[in-house]
Amino acid sequence: MDRLIKLSVLKSPQAIALVSRHGEMTYAEFDQATCRVAKYLEQGGIRQGQLVPICFEKSAWAIITMVALWKLGAAYVPLDATHPLQRLKAVVSIVEADTAIVSPSNRALVQNIVRRAMVVDSTLLSGTEVAFESRSQATDTAFVMFTSGSTGKPKGVVHAHSAVCSSALHHGPAMDISEATRALQFASYTFIVSTFELFTPLLFGGSVCIPSDEDRRTDMGPALQALGANWAIFTPSFARSLSSDDTPLHTLIFAGEPVQDDILDRWAPKANIISIYGTSECSVCMTGRMVHGQTARNCIGRATGALSWIVDPADHNRLVPIGAVGELVIEGPSLGEGYLGEPHRTQAAYIEEARCSWARVLGPTSSQPRRFYKTGDLVRYHHDGTVHLVGRADMQVKVRGQRVELTEVEAHLCQLSPSASLKFAVSLVSPAGTPPMLAAFVARKSGFDSSPESGYDFSHEPEPAVKAELSELAMQMKTQLATMLPSYMIPAVFLPLTYMPLMASGKTDRRKLAAFGSGLSQVQLAHRARATTGSRDPSTGTPTTTDMELQRLWAKVLGRGLVADVGAGDNFFHWGGDSIQAMNLSRAARRHGFVLAVHHILAKPILSDMAKHMTPMAGSGSETDADADADTDTGAETKSPRPFALLRGNVGEETQARTAIAAALNLDSDAMEKLDDAYPCTPLQEGLMALSAKLPGS
């Protein structure tokens, strides 16, 4: 892949490759930066074929490091600094790495899990120009992406350069990527989607726009404008939180979730809408253009750079008739190599032509053995040749567009359980008016509290003593899970049951659990789950003024018309809150004259605790609902800093600074009168200027 990106460097060296809040980097500058970092990593002992963990916040240096590793013939393994330390240690253990590449801010964290952490930052841009010839080969590993695994530990999918290049060359045109593309790099580096945002635009000569982590957590609207991004991949849920007015987006890609009609209503007049389907195991393999009123919400398009087959879920040797439901199987050069260190799991998911009877007589001829990946997704062909998603054949679900193996969460619950007699089941539930969420059901025994013929009666809650015991256990488990799993894999609610319902086969009746959880109203869900989070009953205690203001905001943002239903002891997640709704709540608070950071919402989900972190904006009172609705994009007016405030009020220093600026820029007195202020360079800007001075024509 780095060799293909080099072609863009040679074709348009002065075109913009990377854009961030700190400045821009041309293709020539980007290439020189990757050469410098590759040389530095080589001197640090990184060798061809090595799997190297990297840990960066959103920055140009993450992308530079990835390509630099490729030039060495090494591969990157992304780590997310927000994941629990135990999770990061598990990944590093599977990779068997002793060295990681990090940003300065992540060095202390990563030093806890590897022997050595090498820092990459702007200081590497100083010095003479460096040349570094790529050593990567098509068969080399490009990266390893870790995803949720059914055994209780993450599984790493290995991708070779040949697969990454093949996928990009095919899905690039299908996703409207060209030299004019300014692609927003929004996804976490630990998700396969990030590779489409990062490398495909560079392969086609476009630009990659890098928002800050704060932009991603708070308000992407202004960041889109500031970066001039005209292309983005979002989940439909996240797109719903953005305003489509005055957006610079020309192309909007939806992934991870079905697209609802209201999303198409809002965005179709503003941008070209494309849906994509893919997995960590096979990259992008399906794309489709969405037309309002004509495209079904579960349509995932047609195969792109691959072939799609639909087989009997119980026997992959049997193709199903057109229109029948079956398991989607993908064939093509973009498939991953398999699961790192897990040959048996690889053999079960990736099948070769010799193990597939129909493949011997159907499909293309090839000099290489044909390979297929069994996705586990249940689909059917539509009469127009598109593929429609129906469901899953296994225990995998999507939470906010991210893949979760329910059995992995259950394995951790069983591991934490103090008693083997306790029964656990995790299900995806969708209570009315809330986004889908993970619910953990816990009971002391399995069976029926009535005859099997009449079914399970969920209206019977456990006895108070048993419920109190299970609730206390649930609180402890949720705290412990936070040290083991990413936040999206932790159940939002724990629901104590009298019995764990069983099917006639003796297996847990998961359909019944999902139906029960989805049938609860928000009020019922909050009532049942309140005790398992240490929440106080909403009727107890005297709410503060801030509590009451936050109650109104919850009711407004989470779609609850009755403020009285929301109590000071309620949990944000039990009312349908998630990271996207947290962004909406933060913006709503700002419109009403308050500051409430997203990270405080997620860290302090109990309303009364959250209220302690909601403070009035300086110099502003709160607005009425009418005022807020009339001006949804502006917050309270904040006082601007005085000119040259960074000089701490020293008049002599300000005079010296103005004189130095006038001399450096050859400004006369009239021009100097128009100078408002000056700020120091960021480290990246300083490095870019040094690099530009060394590159002719920059």
How do residues 572-591 score in pLDDT, each as one tens digit?
A: 877 778 778 888 899 899 88
Last residue of a domain, one of 511, 533, 555: 533
The reply to whether 452 falls in a domain is yes
The reply to whether 226 falls in a domain is no
Q: State residue 451's pLDDT score.
A: 41
Q: Kindly state whether residues 461 and 488 are assigned to the same domain.
A: yes
Q: Kindly state whether residues 557 and 664 are assigned to the same domain.
A: no
Do 389 and 379 touch, CB atoms closer than 8 A?
yes
Is the full-model pTM beyond 0.85? no
Q: Kindly state whether residues 435 and 514 are assigned to the same domain.
A: yes
d(CA 95, CA 347): 20
CATH number, domain at 572? 1.10.1200.10
Q: Kindly state whether residues 409 and 529 are assigned to the same domain.
A: yes
Q: Kindly state whether residues 489 and 562 are assigned to the same domain.
A: no
Cα 186 versus chain centre, distance: 8
The reply to whether 466 falls in a domain is yes
Q: Kindly state whether residues 518 and 422 are assigned to the same domain.
A: yes
Q: What is the DSSP letter of 216?
A: H
d(CA 158, CA 558): 40
Q: Kindly state whether residues 655 and 598 are assigned to the same domain.
A: no
Segments in the chain below pLDDT 70:
150-152, 292-294, 433, 446-460, 504-506, 526-542, 560-565, 619-655, 668-674, 682-698
The reply to whether 679 falls in a domain is yes
The reply to whether 87 falls in a domain is no
d(CA 293, CA 206): 32
Q: State residue 453's pLDDT score.
A: 42
CATH number, domain at 434? 3.30.300.30
The reply to whether 385 falls in a domain is no
Do 481 and 412 touch, CB atoms closer than 8 A?
yes
Q: Kindly state whether residues 498 and 524 are assigned to the same domain.
A: yes
3-state secondary structure 624-647: CHHHHHHCCCCCCCCCCCCCCHHH
Q: State residue 629's pLDDT score.
A: 43
Domain count of the fold of the chain: 3
Q: Kindly state whether residues 431 and 470 are assigned to the same domain.
A: yes
The reply to whether 682 falls in a domain is yes
Q: State residue 630's pLDDT score.
A: 40
Q: State residue 689's pLDDT score.
A: 61
Q: Kindly state whether residues 481 and 507 are assigned to the same domain.
A: yes
| Full residue range of the structural domain in which residue 654 is found | 646-694
Last residue of a domain, one of 630, 655, 672: 630
Q: Kindly state whether residues 620 and 685 are assigned to the same domain.
A: no
Do 462 and 498 touch, CB atoms closer than 8 A?
yes
Secondary structure class of 210 (helix, strand, coil):
strand
Q: Kindly state whether residues 469 and 529 are assigned to the same domain.
A: yes
Last residue of a domain, one of 533, 566, 594: 533
Q: State residue 641's pLDDT score.
A: 57
Tokens encoding 475: 């609180």
3-state secondary structure 277-310: EEECCCEEEEEEECCCCCCCCCEEEEECCCEEEE
The reply to whether 412 falls in a domain is yes
